[in-house]
Amino acid sequence: MRVWPGRPYPLGATWDGNGVNFALFSENAHSVELCLFDSPDDEKETEKIPVVERRDLVWHCYLPDARPGQLYGYRVAGPYEPANGHRFNANKVLLDPYAMGIGRDTKWCDEMWGYKIGDPETDLSFDDRDNAHAAPLGVVIDPAFTWGDDRPPNHPWHETIIYEMHVKGFTQLHPGVPEEQRGTYAGLTSPAALDHLKHLGVTAVELLPVFHRCDDRHLIDKGLCNYWGYNTLAFMAPDRHFSCADSADETVREFKTMVRGLHSAGIEVILDVVYNHTAEGNQNGPTMTFRGIDNAAYYRLSPEDARFYMDFTGCGNGFNMRSPRVLQLIMDSLRYWVTEMHVDGFRFDLASALARELYEVDKLGAFFDILHQDPVLSGVKLIAEPWDLGSGGYQVGNFPSQWSEWNGRYRDNVRRFWKGDGGMLSEFATRICGSADLYEWSSRRPYASINFVTCHDGFNMHDLVSYNEKHNEANGEENRDGANDNQSWNCGVEGPTDDAEIKTLRLRQMRNMLATLVLSQGVPMILAGDEMVKSQGGNNNCYCQDNELTWLNWDWDEEQQQMFDFVRGIIALRKAEPVFRRQKFFQGQSIRGSEESSDVCWINIDGKQVTDEVWDAGFVKCIGLRLDGKLIGEVNDHGEPIEGDTVLLLLNAHHEEICFMLPTPVEEAYWEPLLDTAQFPGHLSETKGGAQYRIFARSIALLRLMTPTIKQKQKEGFVAAEIIADLAMDTPVGRESHLKSLQGK
């Protein structure tokens, strides 16, 4: 094999059409060897090439005879001094941090650790056994792909509706997806899968981690895995577990084809990314990549004892965000997924950890500075999970401009309001109006708030109304894992029941929270499966459950079909009425005390404006919200005023029905019901101002202000039927159509 000097940049293994350049950063290494393998089954490397060129702390060489598909790893020699932060061990083959494809997964054995398992000295001992037969291997990728006329949908933030989903769980049981494509990137853009997303009306999918993960040994021993994927091993390689391809090259092309297919359907692709820790764990973890390449450079070590790691995530380690090379790795990874893979944005897991350069969370840190000035990354959607497990880590509302945030305070308050907790009304009003208290002070807009009631982590919507306590026994940790405080209410019985009244109440509570979510100011995020009444058996931490507990079930009964139709309907309502998609906060004023002539007005059950006494009363659980469609005060891209209907949203979290006096803003006007979470199937009739609207216990109603000159339309169902038709969303999606789609195209 011919060896040329090569170049220190770009890092990783780069095919240029003539050969492959290999470049690896290691500041403290004494020597580096490039190891080539002919097959994933090789017990030993077939060729070991000393890498003698070193510039800018990068070890590099060029192999003119190497080609795409070449399997490779590195051996890196240096001091093994855990007390000083160094854990080099040249007996271990290591994965390239910049590997763009995975040619072989980790094969768990004791040789994967840099120290001797079972030794009294634990991680201070040294293991001299070779791991070449078991180490994960990178593979050289040919990035060529025909994108055709692919263009990012570029949906404005205020028009974005996010659908959080797992690549495998979404299609694994879908009978309309070809069997060989189920649970894969290809399956996600099969006609049956795309039909569901398009009929639902979402504009973006937020994929749980798709960077190649490592399944922890202790989970494998229990017959489990890191199903969610928050255990990243390779930050530039798509997870091969979700591919129906046979090679890494084909896996990359399959991922790109998925993105292209979603874009063609008008759906953006947002990736949930995990840069706050790696799969190598704490000082007792295996040596697979960063630890053996340069532990002290890549990881944040304890200033008191460099043997140990600073851990703000509960996962054992954390990247050293003060290192320019770590920042480079993260930025190179992000740019790769945008420029090469065409993704549209990122959701950063435990993002507060990325802002800890010293100890405190610093929103002026280098990570944000570099990201904001980057010409590629500054233009994509950036979402923070604005907390970590360290002191001061809860940073909801404190991220810089250009960022949106998962609004955990929205989730908690909406859950408590519909559970019936007292004293929630004032904050509930603030949350559904965009959380101006959290975001307006930094000149951000309502779409800085990613609103959600459920997500992958915690109870899904069905279980939120069916369980008071978590039931995580299947995870093998004696129910110790997962959150204990879920703000859930089982409606009277823990878990499954045959009680018809409880089942009816649970479904109504689900509709209440879903309607609240979709009709709130900000960006709604819906958890996949909530629209089809998916249950996880009370497990609120399904991170390790790759089975029917987490896979979506597409064999719907009538209740599931009705729920899908309902969610589709409220999404159509949001798209039809611009008052639900405001780009600015309400006149920049406090929500409380708004005048009736303003763009927003809160109405008491007597039809009058809410007073301070009502706001401060702990027992009040019913309120009306009037949004004036003529006073939005915004313009479209062509400079034309945005106007829509004036609507009245009635919310009753009380356990008894209430007769709500409807206001009379215009003489002879009437209120036309568009939605009622307590009436299905049934006929909703118009009600004149000054009359009472009967809002059932624990329910929501939405009415539109109409004048006699507008033709009266009869409504049937939870959501007005013509709302869907008006938006050209009237493709048949009834039970017959759904069953037909399951039979394949």
Using alpha carbons, select from 385, 145, 149 the residue that is nearest to residue 270: 385
Residue 638's contacts (CB-CB under 8 Å, 6 or more residues apart) are none
Write the CA distances from 676 to 202, 472, 508, integer angstroms.
22, 35, 10
Q: At CA 356, angle to CA 355 and CA 362, rounded to 5?
A: 60
Cβ–Cβ < 8 Å for 745, 191: yes
Rounded Cα distance between 198 and 186, Å, is 17
DSSP-H helix ranges across 520-557: none
Task: For 239-278, give one letter per residue: b (16+ CB within 10 A) or e.
Answer: bbbbbbbebbbebbbbbbbbbbbbbeeebbbbbbbbbbbb
Task: For 621-641, give one letter per residue: b (16+ CB within 10 A) or e.
Answer: bbbbbbbbbeebeeeeeeeee
Cis status of the peptide bond prior to 681, with omega within 30 of 0: yes
Cis status of the peptide bond prior to 303, with omega within 30 of 0: no
Q: Which helix (H) or strand (E) holds 345?
A: strand 345-348
* Residue type at position 13: A
Cβ–Cβ < 8 Å for 672, 704: yes
Rounded Cα distance between 476 and 472, Å, is 8
Q: Is 555 exposed, middle or buried (0-12, 13-18, 19+ CB in 10 A)?
A: exposed
Given 96, 215, 385, 577, the catalytic residue: 385
Catalytic, 349? Answer yes
Given 349, 457, 628, 645, the catalytic residue: 349
Residue 264's contacts (CB-CB under 8 Å, 6 or more residues apart) are 150
Q: Which residues are catalytic?
A: 349, 385
